[in-house]
Structure 1
Amino acid sequence: MTLPYKKKLIEVAIPLEAINAASAREKSIRHGHPSTLHLWWARRPLAACRAVLFAQLVDDPSSHPDQFPTHEDQERERQRLFAIIEDLVKWENSTNEEVLERARAEIRRSCGGVLPPVYDPFSGGGSIPLEAQRLGLPAYGSDLNPVAVMIGKAMIEIPPKFKDMPPIHPGIKERSFYRNAEGLAEDVKYYGEWMREKAWERIGHLYPQVDLPKEYGGGKATVIAWIWARTVPSPDPAFADVEVPLISSYTLRNSEGQEVWLRPVIDKANKAYHFEVDSAQNVRFDEDSSSGTKTGSAAFRCILTGTPIPAKYIDDMASKGRMGRRLIAAIAEIKSSKAYISGDRVDLIYQEQNIKQLLSSPDIAGKLPQQVCRGTFASNAQGRRYGINVFSDYFIPRQQVAMSTLVACIAEVHKQIKDDLLGSKCEDPRSSSEVADQYASAVCLYLAFAIDRVADAGSSMATWAADGFIRFTFARQGIAMTWDFVEANPFSDSTGNFLGAVTWVGKAIENFVPASTGQVIQASAEAAPIPENAVISTDPPYYSNISYADLSDYFYVWMKQSVGHLFPDQFGTLLVPKAEELIADRYRQGSDASARQFFLTGMTHALTSIQSKDRNDSPTAIYYAFKKSEIGKEGMTSSGWITFLQAVLEARYQIVRTWPVRTERSARTVAIGNNALASSIVLVCRKRPSTAETCTRAEFIRALKRELPTAIRELQEANISPADMPQCAIGPGIGVFSRYRAVLESDDSPMSVDVALQLINRELDEYLGGIQGEFDADTRFAITWFEQNGLKAGDYGTANNIATARGISVESVKHAGIVESAAGKVRILKRDEMDADWEPDADGHLTVWECCQHLVRLHEKYGIGYEAAVMLKRFGPKADDVRDLAYVLHKVCEKRGDAKEATAYNALIADWTDLTREAATAPLTNRSGQMRFEV
């Protein structure tokens, strides 16, 4: 079915600043955010997904010249649509039906009165299908990874089936009216508590309270964390029979003035040691406690003799099964505070004996995942395994018992839910045997997610953070070896406990808005059946950044035990499928070249399949994640980026726009020196017409010179930050390249993507260089001098030649207050060396350089405040030149590798819209408070 072509909003303009601000803020949302349902790596922000989907489907006003005949009419309509997006992306409005319905109405108006289906062929953590469903769009997703599929089912497939239904549990109900998935969430919490009680009955005796030392008032308290250190035999031959600890830090608490740390007490004569707890309230904090026995990244020293313990020795001991563990501290909860107790005062003999008995029982042993784990350790490339060969090895014995007990309870919960449903006297659409089974399975899946949260917090790879919390196993996108680790108490009220995990899951469910149907299936992107006329919005795996299959094995092995029998279609394999996973993995494919070819071929086939079936009246949106390190002096030219773009173009897509989606507000002045860039680029793609022609290299360059300057100027007018400009410029640039079937080099060979990107980056440089011609001569001198010398001094003779070429002298630049000239040397003044009482309207030798530096100085000091806003207003017509200069200087700083200085200019442009808004209403005054009207 061929649908009429209309240009959509995302192809013309979007309120990028509002989208990025909401995306960044979203990272601070914890309780209730769907990302807390289950860990997934590199999720796209929900706000961005929601905004992109809306803009993909809503017509740009230019598509309706009959309704909006003039540019002004079209711009007014865009601003109205922008206001809808700005409301839509706010987290507070994610369940606001009035805001959501306003967005749905606009989509219907642009889509023939219907809400079209959306399909994500790489659905992963489910952000895109979830936001499609929130907008009332039938949501479809597919993924090869069964863990991702189960997350997707839990987010968009299960909630619509039980929408607006009350809970079925026999206890006291939380409310009288239930909407969306609130009833389902309440059942998850109720049966989670029921499950916790069953587990406590069986293994609660393994978690006895601890005797508090007298300094804490004596009595008993619940332990929330046990701190263990791994041990190896001392490498000193005289002490080879002593297990010595590998401790990265002795610090237990680092709050200033309230520090708590372990102090080792050495009895060398008896080959013994133990630990005492010291606190800053009793003695002076030992600054050396931060180092423990660690001397390098994986090297330590013997606590008794100081003998070095090199990494190779640790590896050797671990491979021989001689790596042990020793309890070095326990942390207990007391009256809204914590008690820190030496591990030597905690009696574990009773628990150890009971743990051994339980581990030998078939009920527990049969639930332990014995699949061989490969590729999960971040250090596996060096062949280090540290005795961890199967997945249960990540957990010490008591953790194994706790996990296996929770897993075993799932079957009992399933039966209990069915009994409660089928035994209920009231009519309920879930009371048939088949639907009751589906509902019980759904609740059990969410409880399995809670178990997975316990697995993340409760392995021997989790660590204690000295500011008072447990750092989970997946603190990074991989599992790094830990030496001193924390064992959480799953029955406490603190981090890592099971009921807390259930609460996190339940709050996420409460915020689902199942406004349409949803379906997620397990299939590769190439083979998945695409719904007819579906809008494609997708976030494919990024080249070689994350091995999702390897990482998700960690959860798959527990889920296979807990709910594999309830969802057999997703758990039929031993581990997560890896051979077809579309990432460039040199360890799987044998070499970098083979890995690149595997990724290119697979991604091209997948995108070609998608392109052949997507609807013609809406563009496809493809997210591409990248790292800051991929942005070099030549722009985004990493092999991953080039290969991905090549796959997009070989799939016969034309890239018509690119938008940088930022998840960190790193452009703010507080982030000086960090200069992190946008974390994703959204590629807006259309099918390339079959009639597309070829062109020559010269014709391509002429087209770039003709079209790119206007596009860049529009991006500047939209205040795209300098750090994001190279990525945004890719859109119009690669759009020119991708509109042709091929761009031919002089030998008639097709131009490669990396060459095209280099030419686009060169045109961007030339454009920014051309801007300089519009500046005053003193500013143009300062730019050239800054390019060559930065803020360091250079020879007067060279400076004079540069000045003469611009029709001025060094004395002119000195008189302007830009440079210092003395003793045959010339140096640009730093911002803090410039006149703090400078007044632009009183300067008889006003330059754009001075205006820019003084504005940056005020912005660094006050942010978006009165001072900077008033200064900007006083620049009058020069304000646009100041903004242009900030773009130019950011580019210069990037080439010089000066991240700190680059960030200052980037931050100014990132806040330019807010500054101009403030400037519009700010009174013109001088520093004495007198009103000034001239500029």
Structure 2
Amino acid sequence: MLSAVGTKESWRKEVHRPATSTHKWWAKRLGTVFRGIIASAVTAADEDAAVAYQSPLDLAGAVVLDPFSGSGVTGVEVLKLGGRPVCFDINPVATLVERQAMQPWSFEDLATAYEVVERACREEVDRLHRTEDGRAVLYYFWVATVECPECADKVRLFDSPVFSRNAYPKRVPRAQIVCPECLAVKTSRYDFESETCPNGHEITQRGAARGQSATCSQGHAFKVLRALDDSIPVYEMYAKMVANRDGSKVYESITDWDRDLYDECVELLAGLPADAVLPAGDLAPGNNTDQALKWNFRQWRDFFNARQMVSLSLIATAIRDLPGLAPEREALAALFSGTLEFNNLFTSFKGEGTGAVRHMFSHHILKPERTPLEAHPWGTPQSSGSFSTLFKSRLQRAHEYKVKPADLVARGSAVERVTGLAQSLAATVFDSWEAFARAEGQAAYVATKNSADTDLPDGSVDLVVTDPPYMDNVYYAELADFFHAWLQGMRPHGGYAKTTTTRAPGEVQNADPAEFGKAIEAVWAECARVLKPGGILAFTFHQARITGWIQVIESLRRAGFVVTAVQPVKGEMTTSVVKAGAREPSNLDSVVVCRRAVDGATNPNRTLDEARETARNELARLRDAGVEVGAGDIRSVVRGTVLANLASAGRDLDDEVAEIVDEFVTETIDELASTAPTTQDREPALF
């Protein structure tokens, strides 16, 4: 049942759980899954957790800790069920996102503050995004250029002259192409073979750039990074999409008037007041920043061109200067920060028939774009990813959800949105246990904190529910610094970090398995200390590398926990860009349920074979219910279940154990591939 509703939510998280979608955060989990975890944790063994999930469950003020709270999914679900969440994250950007998810806004005050900001900056931002005859420019198209190291020929790094086509090109073959030689724009087909531009130049499908290499007009092939020398590429405008007064859109070439307007932006940037909000800070080396550094992006301000910097600074400064530190001002600051991912030099054009802007985090690295898209940051009704459009799609939608939350519920074979199963979200947010413990009414303790060292008293928490970070791959702080570079000058709330970076000692993520294990053990140990006798720790996890699973299971054992269940459940949208590029994309999470050894907990699987059979049966049950189960899912679930059994038996999880576990993985993959799905008549289980 839970995987069915999770699948529905995974396609449109921002629609089904908008309170936690006001700003980007990585690896955001499904609210339906966390509602299910909570429902299962508080349901007696002789009662049906699936019934509890679909009922207006009341936690009666139970305190629930999330030590890795990210976008606030746990906190929101706890508040909706009448509990009191404690949400810690070591990153201040995550804390900001969580605060938006849980605290109420006066939408009247929010709209008034929005109008104040609009009056302060929109006219000038609009002026900087217009044609000579006064029409609004929705998007400017740019191309990176380098000099050939052999002959100094300017090379425009197009990989194709087709710069705009429909998301379904076979159905709508019309496309826009640009002449790489003179930058004239022409309408053609996405699959054209040869064209002649208005100035007589021949255009073919192949551009100068191919992967990491490029070829100049003289035939010299070279590595792009070699040509960059010690600076970022020089970008050149080549086209624009204009909104006509009748509502139609048209592609046009860049004119001298456009170039002069951009040159004015360069002058305006140099003349901004000393106290204007601008991005601050340098990029530091890291797994997710190294590619940008190789392209010589060394400061966060390098990620924006002059017009973007001026426009965004005008908006940010107007928000900063709103009086007071009210939740509504904070919400607009968070909205502005969220707008940044669609307005920088790392975005690109998705094409017609879909949202136009491909945001910079479509990949989990800071990947430079050879043909970036510059959008209108304030926007028009026809814009994508702009401050004005996101105000409606994010803040207004989140406010409506907070007032009247809806949950996804399985009704037979259908999944429906149902209201009346949850309380409204209107929490007073506190930043200390002392204040939180004294508070009456709906309250949340939300703080930027290392969860290995908290101010929570012993035995003060009824339940721990979380989603720990990956051991490696996506380093949240390295990416969050992009937002923090602007936010530190805006001071969205009184407790927002004054540091120059969000990287901090105590971060759990670490490419070194031993360091990862040590850091996460410290958090688990703190959870064991603050958890009440008989309490449960439950978390979702998946990891491609077995070393990640080994460190998680070992760290739990060292912290005094015993794994009592590993349940596979729908985790994310199957067709995400990141998953599409993975060798074994993961579709499922494992819900890992733990109890403290001092409370008498034991692993339910008596033998290694029994553990493997438990994992196989759970995966088969999901597959037979129509949930996609891939090799990566099998690998993760079997590893977690078998390693938990070995750890409970006191076995050291060494290289020999890893080989044994992966033999079980191979056997399970083969077994599930060879057995046809079956239809099973059973009562709907929660997991």
2:364 corresponds in structure 1 to 477
Structure with greater contact order relative to length (CA < 8 Å, sep ≥ 6): 2
Q: Describe the shift of the 1:357–1:25 C-alpha distance in structure 2 as closer, same or farther (beyond 3 A).
A: closer
1:133 corresponds in structure 2 to 79
> Structure 1: any 5+ residue segments left out of the alignment?
1-14, 62-76, 88-98, 108-113, 160-180, 212-219, 267-272, 416-436, 586-594, 631-637, 695-699, 744-750, 769-886, 893-904, 918-935
1:495 aligns with 2:384: yes
CA contact (8 A) 1:658 1:681 kept: yes
Please give the alpha-carbon distance, in whole angstroms, between the structure 1 residues aligned to 2:571 and 2:203: 36
1:809 corresponds in structure 2 to none
2:116 corresponds in structure 1 to 194
CA contact (8 A) 1:188 1:506 kept: no
1:82 corresponds in structure 2 to 50
Instruction: Tell me by how many angstroms 1:50 deviates.
Output: 1.0
CA contact (8 A) 1:45 1:663 kept: yes
- Equivalent position SS for 1:459: coil
Alignment equivalent of 2:41, drawn from 47, 56, 65: 56
Alignment equivalent of 1:449, drawn from 334, 338, 343: 334
Please give the alpha-carbon distance, in whole angstroms, between the structure 1 residues aligned to 2:7 and 2:126: 46
Please give the alpha-carbon distance, in whole angstroms, between the structure 1 residues aligned to 2:213 and 2:639: 46
> Structure 2: any 5+ residue segments left out of the alignment?
197-201, 403-423, 427-441
- Equivalent position SS for 2:357: strand
1:580 corresponds in structure 2 to 506
Alignment equivalent of 1:311, drawn from 197, 206, 224: 224
1:407 corresponds in structure 2 to 316
Amino acid at match of 2:309: Q
2:473 corresponds in structure 1 to 545
Please give the alpha-carbon distance, in whole angstroms, between the structure 2 residues aligned to 1:542 and 1:247: 35
Alignment equivalent of 2:184, drawn from 275, 299, 322: 275
2:433 corresponds in structure 1 to none
1:505 corresponds in structure 2 to 395
1:613 aligns with 2:530: yes
Per-residue deviation, residues 166-210 of structure 1 (Å, max 9, x unmatched): xxxxxxxxxxxxxxx5xx234323422331231024443322235
- Equivalent position SS for 2:471: coil
1:646 aligns with 2:646: no
Instruction: Tell me by how many angstroms 1:311 deviates.
Output: 2.1
Amino acid at match of 1:501: L
> Superposition pairs for residues 632-781 of structure 1, below 5 Å?
638-664=546-572, 676-689=585-598, 703-705=607-609, 709=613, 719=624, 723=630, 724=633, 727-728=636-637, 733-740=642-649, 742-743=650-651, 751-752=652-653, 755-756=656-657, 759=660
Per-residue deviation, residues 881-909 of structure 1 (Å, max 9, x unmatched): xxxxxx864356xxxxxxxxxxxx68x36
Question: Over aligned residue pairs, what C-alpha RMSD do you find?
Answer: 3.6
CA contact (8 A) 1:119 1:536 kept: yes
Q: Describe the shift of the 1:394–1:752 C-alpha distance in structure 2 as closer, same or farther (beyond 3 A).
A: same
CA contact (8 A) 1:189 1:502 kept: no
2:162 corresponds in structure 1 to 251
Q: Describe the shift of the 1:761–1:458 C-alpha distance in structure 2 as closer, same or farther (beyond 3 A).
A: closer
Q: Describe the shift of the 1:582–1:675 C-alpha distance in structure 2 as closer, same or farther (beyond 3 A).
A: closer
- Equivalent position SS for 2:399: helix
Amino acid at match of 1:681: S
Q: Describe the shift of the 1:30–1:147 C-alpha distance in structure 2 as closer, same or farther (beyond 3 A).
A: same
1:890 corresponds in structure 2 to 672
Please give the alpha-carbon distance, in whole angstroms, between the structure 1 residues aligned to 2:190 and 2:592: 57
Farther off after superposition, 468-477 or 242-251: 242-251
1:152 aligns with 2:74: no
CA contact (8 A) 1:130 1:155 kept: yes
- Equivalent position SS for 1:455: helix
- Equivalent position SS for 1:534: strand
Q: Describe the shift of the 1:281–1:124 C-alpha distance in structure 2 as closer, same or farther (beyond 3 A).
A: closer
Please give the alpha-carbon distance, in whole angstroms, between the structure 2 residues aligned to 1:265 and 1:730: 52
Per-residue deviation, residues 101-132 of structure 1 (Å, max 9, x unmatched): x222xx5xxxxxx3311110111111111111
CA contact (8 A) 1:526 1:605 kept: yes
Instruction: Tell me by how many angstroms 1:612 deviates.
Output: 2.1
CA contact (8 A) 2:63 2:463 kept: yes
- Equivalent position SS for 2:68: coil
Instruction: Tell me by how many angstroms 1:685 deviates.
Output: 0.2
1:227 aligns with 2:123: no
Per-residue deviation, residues 459-512 of structure 1 (Å, max 9, x unmatched): 011111233511111122221011111110124310132211222223223312
1:465 aligns with 2:354: no
Q: How many residues align?
A: 620
Instruction: Tell me by how many angstroms 1:689 deviates.
Output: 3.2
| Structure number having the greater strand percentage | 2
Please give the alpha-carbon distance, in whole angstroms, between the structure 1 residues aligned to 2:611 and 2:339: 55
Q: TM-score, normalised by structure 1?
A: 0.60
Alignment equivalent of 1:103, drawn from 40, 57, 60: 57
Please give the alpha-carbon distance, in whole angstroms, between the structure 2 residues aligned to 1:601 and 1:254: 50
- Equivalent position SS for 2:535: coil
CA contact (8 A) 2:157 2:209 kept: no
Which one has the largest radius of gyration? Answer: 1
Q: Describe the shift of the 1:383–1:533 C-alpha distance in structure 2 as closer, same or farther (beyond 3 A).
A: closer
Please give the alpha-carbon distance, in whole angstroms, between the structure 1 residues aligned to 2:87 and 2:527: 13
Instruction: Tell me by how many angstroms 1:340 deviates.
Output: 0.9
Alignment equivalent of 1:358, drawn from 247, 268, 290: 268
Q: TM-score, normalised by structure 2?
A: 0.81
CA contact (8 A) 2:67 2:87 kept: yes
Please give the alpha-carbon distance, in whole angstroms, between the structure 2 residues aligned to 1:289 and 1:136: 64
CA contact (8 A) 2:179 2:203 kept: no
1:342 aligns with 2:248: no
1:332 corresponds in structure 2 to 242
Amino acid at match of 1:616: P
Please give the alpha-carbon distance, in whole angstroms, between the structure 1 residues aligned to 2:75 and 2:485: 26
CA contact (8 A) 1:117 1:137 kept: yes
Please give the alpha-carbon distance, in whole angstroms, between the structure 1 residues aligned to 2:223 and 2:615: 57
Per-residue deviation, residues 448-468 of structure 1 (Å, max 9, x unmatched): 122112211110111112335
Amino acid at match of 1:489: H
> Superposition pairs for residues 802-841 of structure 1, below 5 Å?
none
- Equivalent position SS for 2:556: helix
Alignment equivalent of 1:367, drawn from 277, 292, 315: 277
Please give the alpha-carbon distance, in whole angstroms, between the structure 2 residues aligned to 1:289 and 1:641: 52
Please give the alpha-carbon distance, in whole angstroms, between the structure 1 residues aligned to 2:614 and 2:506: 43
CA contact (8 A) 2:462 2:531 kept: yes
Alignment equivalent of 2:489, drawn from 549, 561, 564: 561
CA contact (8 A) 1:660 1:678 kept: no
Amino acid at match of 2:646: F
Please give the alpha-carbon distance, in whole angstroms, between the structure 1 residues aligned to 2:274 and 2:445: 35
Please give the alpha-carbon distance, in whole angstroms, between the structure 2 residues aligned to 1:736 and 1:16: 25
Amino acid at match of 2:188: S
Please give the alpha-carbon distance, in whole angstroms, between the structure 2 residues aligned to 1:520 and 1:402: 32
Please give the alpha-carbon distance, in whole angstroms, between the structure 2 residues aligned to 1:282 and 1:755: 54
Q: Describe the shift of the 1:523–1:155 C-alpha distance in structure 2 as closer, same or farther (beyond 3 A).
A: same
CA contact (8 A) 1:708 1:763 kept: yes
Please give the alpha-carbon distance, in whole angstroms, between the structure 1 residues aligned to 2:397 and 2:176: 36
Please give the alpha-carbon distance, in whole angstroms, between the structure 2 residues aligned to 1:731 and 1:283: 51
- Equivalent position SS for 2:177: strand
2:435 corresponds in structure 1 to none
2:215 corresponds in structure 1 to 301
Please give the alpha-carbon distance, in whole angstroms, between the structure 1 residues aligned to 2:266 and 2:602: 73
- Equivalent position SS for 1:572: coil
Please give the alpha-carbon distance, in whole angstroms, between the structure 2 residues aligned to 1:274 and 1:598: 52
CA contact (8 A) 1:186 1:506 kept: no
Please give the alpha-carbon distance, in whole angstroms, between the structure 1 residues aligned to 2:289 and 2:497: 28
